[in-house]
A and B are shown apart, each in its own frame.
Chain A
Amino acid sequence: MPGTALTRNFREGHKLKMSTPFQVVVCASVVPDPLQTLEPVTGPTGPALKNEMMLPAILDPWAAHALYEGANLVKKVAGSALWLVSMAPKAKLQQVMMTVAQKVPLQLVAVDGPSSGFADAQQTATALATAIRNIPGIDLSKLLLFGGWESASRSAGVTLQLVGEELGIVDQFQGVDAIAPNDDGSFEVLERVEGARHQVSRCAGAPAVLGWATGNLGEPRNDPQVGMANMRAIMPALQRAVAAKITADGLQYANVATPKQQRETRIVKDTPADQIASEIVQWIKQE
């Protein structure tokens, strides 16, 4: 299947007139800023990050792509709506929302719970599914459940799938890079598979789960007006956040550590390029 023609179809798919609105719910947690040094420590409930509450946080990167794609879809399909459902410590969520709120119009549903990579995914999924079911006006038959295909914390790629199962959704896609809705409510999806290829699927319509990879949209510029409009609803949403208790439930960590491997690097300098090239070629050809 020719890649260029298909990609064009996906781009043009967004121009179609839609008669079936979607309800897009994006699940996204917060993670430590990737530039921070992460050091594991043993806390009262198991492994944690040193000074976890002090670490600057961001919206999980792949979930952020899902948010931007969701907002774009909602903008294109009249009558659609977008919610951001996020579980994290309330204070942390508030800090991250100050930035995220300026990106796209959204309605926040906050769940006050751990955002640790060591927390159990199953219980996290149950808490998220409960929060989604309790969204006023939610119609699960119109639901497109978005999120990152993996988080930058647990990095397992299971939470969104489990939320989908909890909600009884039997069409799921992971590693999504594009969605092209059709005017009958169906849509086509590009999913990443091995060898830098994409699998193309057509789904009859919502409900469905889409775990996003990077998609095709850049990060939107901060828009203070969008931010101000969002924050009016975000602060009450944070105050309403339901606390979720996540327990170990049979999960026990024997050891958690940063890799200690340090290589003895041989520095080669003041050496002619010919000689370096020859050494590299010889190394490449070694079995």
Chain B
Amino acid sequence: MDNILFLAHTEADGTLNKTALEALSSAVDLKQALGGTLDVALYGAQFQPAANSIAACGATRFLAVCGESFAAARFATDAAASEALVRASGATIVIGAMTSRSARVMAAVAHRVSGCVDTHVTDVTAVSGAPAVTRWFYRQRIEGSLTRTQRPWILLLDPGSRPAWKGEPGSVTPQLIDVPVGDSLLRTSVKGLVTPPADQQTIRPDADLLFVAGAGWTKKQKDGQTHVPEAETIIVDFLRSSKASLGGSKSLVDISGENQSTLHFMTHLNQVGQTGSSPRHPKGLAACCHGEEPHTVGWRFIGERRAINLDPNCGWARGKADVLYVADAFEVMSKVNALLSAK
């Protein structure tokens, strides 16, 4: 019988983020499927709001590491806190969310507790009384399911893999675990976050729609000229009115890096695909994107997909999108913007 630990860091206000609640949902389901126990472990500057918000999740014990030293996302202190919580729980399966903060430390934690780790997990199920996980290999091109006999087994679930756990808040008093913080853990200090100005923020992980712009926006159009400034205006207007998140194909992002005439707001952070991100959004609209697999892995996890392209046989869309509009993206998106701004 496996004992499951849900392990999460809290946010600055002491709450849990959506991704953590998705991982909790998986932990609760696995506990029911395996018939084991469930513990909750939290760390951060404060934990009570998070603990209370998931009081009804069915956990046997709540554990916490708390203090200002654990406020910042710093490898040394996060790893020490996580290690202490895993050891205190005696868990055989640890489930957490694939946040940047957890991903930074969990392999190290697995090493410290003589366990193993799998990240970017998209599903956890019980097969013949043992947990089995599904994850992607070769950057979303091959999907595999696997089991391990080594314990503890730490699993980090990708955002959007499961619905977030929902339940009535309550009141719990977690058991505090003491973690000494010596100078060796404080060699790194976190100075803060660099956030793009609001009007240049084009990546919105919680958006309902992903708009993927391809290199076609910067190519010569039917008049034989490029229209990059016009493309910029159209895309920015669309992002503003639709609240969509912006993704870019590798070719478009690479053009930006080479200082050619291109979309000034497009950076490597926008890149989707084999060497970029594979975001999860309910809907995706691609315009001027070209290419076969592997380029298309960038919208593998998008629910409904539509594309605008002049080529009816475009590999990016055919067989990958639900609808392919064979049309001039400049013309269509200008009219989309007009309709969105009119409503």
* Complex CA distance for A218 and B73, rounded to whole angstroms: 29
A1-B194, A198-B194, A268-B325 known; A162-B143 Cβ under 8 A: no
B143 touches A265 (CB 8 A): no
Residues of A within 8 A of B145 (CB): 253-256
Cβ–Cβ < 8 Å partners of B271 in chain A: 214
Contact with A along B195-212 (1 / 0, CB 8 A): 111000111110001000
**Chain B nearest Cβ from A233, distance in angstroms:** 29
CB distance from A44 to the nearest CB of B (A): 17
Question: How far is it, in angstroms, between the C-alpha of A247 and the C-alpha of B268 when the chains are bound?
Answer: 36
Does A152 contact B143, Cβ atoms closer than 8 Å? no
For B, the interface residue count at a CB cutoff of 8 angstroms equals 99
Interface string of B326-343 (1 = CB under 8 A from A): 111001110110111001
Contact A174 B104 (CB under 8 A): yes
Q: Which of B265-287 contact A (CB under 8 A)?
A: 268-271, 274-275, 283, 285
Which of the segments B44-52, B85-93, B220-228, B316-324 contacts the partner chain? B316-324
The reply to whether A201 and B191 form a contact with Cβ atoms under 8 Å apart is yes
Closest to B274 in A: A34
From residue 224 to 270 of chain A, which have CB atoms closer than 8 A to chain B?
Answer: 249-259, 262-270
Once the chains bind, are A191 and B100 in contact (CB under 8 Å)? Answer: yes
Alpha-carbon distance between A47 and B147 when the two chains are bound, in angstroms = 13
Give Cα A283–Cα B325 distance, bound, in whole angstroms: 13
> Judging by beta carbons under 8 Å apart, are B194 and A265 in contact?
no
Does the CB pair A252–B107 fall under 8 Å? no
A281 to B333, CA, bound (A): 10
Contacts of B143 in A (CB 8 A): 256-259
Q: Is A193 within 8 A of B326, CB to CB?
A: no
Q: Within 8 Å of chain A (Cβ to Cβ): is B193?
A: yes
Interface residue SS majority, chain B = mixed
Cβ-closest chain B residue relative to A251: B148
- Proximity string of chain A (1-16) to chain B, C-beta cutoff 8 Å, 1 when within and 0 when not: 1110011000000000
Asked if B119 lies at the interface with its beta carbon under 8 angstroms from chain A, I say: yes
List chain B residues, Cβ under 8 A from A276: 308, 325, 327, 332, 335
B132 to nearest A CB, angstroms? Answer: 6
Are A277 and B335 in contact, with the CB atoms below 8 A? yes
Q: Are A253 and B146 closer than 8 Å at their CB atoms? A: yes
Given contacts A161-B108, A265-B318, A280-B306, contact A273 B194 (CB under 8 A): no
Interface presence of B36 (CB below 8 A)? no
Q: Does B76 make an interface contact (CB < 8 A)?
A: yes
- The answer to whether B100 touches A194, judged by C-beta atoms less than 8 angstroms apart, is yes
Asked if A271 is at the interface (CB within 8 A of a chain B CB), the reply is yes
CB-CB under 8 A for A273 and B327, given A152-B138, A170-B185: yes
Contacts of B274 in A (CB 8 A): 34, 152
CB distance from A238 to the nearest CB of B (A): 25
| B139 interface residue per 8 A CB criterion | yes
- B324 A155 Cβ-Cβ under 8 A: no
Q: Is the CB of B180 closer than 8 A to any CB of chain A?
A: no
- Among A81-89, A97-105, A116-124, A131-139, the stretch in contact with B: A116-124
A155-B139, A252-B147, A254-B127 known; A280+B336 contact, CB < 8 A? yes
A195: chain B residues at CB < 8 Å are 195, 201, 203-205
Say yes or no: B192 contacts A200, CB within 8 Å: yes
Which residues 115-158 of A sit at the B interface, judged by CB distance below 8 A?
117-118, 121-122, 152-158
8 Å CB contact of B138 from A38, A122, A265, A280: A38
| CB atoms of B191 and A274 under 8 A apart | no
CB <8 Å contact, A173 and B75: yes
- Bound Cα distance from A61 to B256, whole angstroms: 18
Tell me, rounded to whole Å, the shortest Cβ–Cβ distance linking B287 to chain A. 10
Q: How far is the CA of A127 from the CA of B84 in the complex (A)?
A: 27
Does B118 count as interface, using CB distance less than 8 angstroms? yes
Is A181 close to B, CB under 8 A? Answer: no
A196-B312 in contact (CB<8A)? no
**0 or 1 for each of B111-129: is its CB under 8 Å from A? (1 = yes):** 1100011111000000100
Contact B119 A202 (CB under 8 A): no
Chain B residues, Cβ within 8 Å of A61 = 275
Q: Beyond A62-B275, A173-B104, A252-B147, list 13 extra A-B contacts (CB 8 Å).
A: A6-B194, A117-B142, A154-B137, A166-B111, A172-B75, A193-B100, A199-B193, A199-B194, A202-B191, A253-B144, A253-B145, A277-B335, A283-B304
Q: Hey, which bits of chain A sit against chain B, CB under 8 A?
A: 1-3, 6-7, 31-32, 34-35, 37-38, 40, 47, 61-62, 117-118, 121-122, 152-159, 161-162, 164-166, 170-175, 177, 188, 190-205, 213-214, 218, 249-259, 262-271, 273-274, 276-278, 280-281, 283-284
Instruction: List 27 interface pairs A-B (beta carbons < 8 Å), by A numbering.
Output: A2-B194, A7-B194, A31-B138, A40-B142, A47-B144, A61-B275, A152-B275, A153-B138, A156-B119, A156-B135, A170-B75, A170-B187, A172-B105, A188-B191, A190-B194, A196-B202, A196-B203, A250-B150, A251-B116, A258-B141, A259-B300, A264-B322, A266-B323, A270-B326, A273-B328, A283-B283, A284-B340
Ranked nearest first, the 10 interchain pairs of A and B with the lowest CB-CB distance are: A196-B203, A158-B107, A277-B335, A269-B326, A250-B149, A161-B107, A256-B144, A204-B187, A172-B75, A214-B268
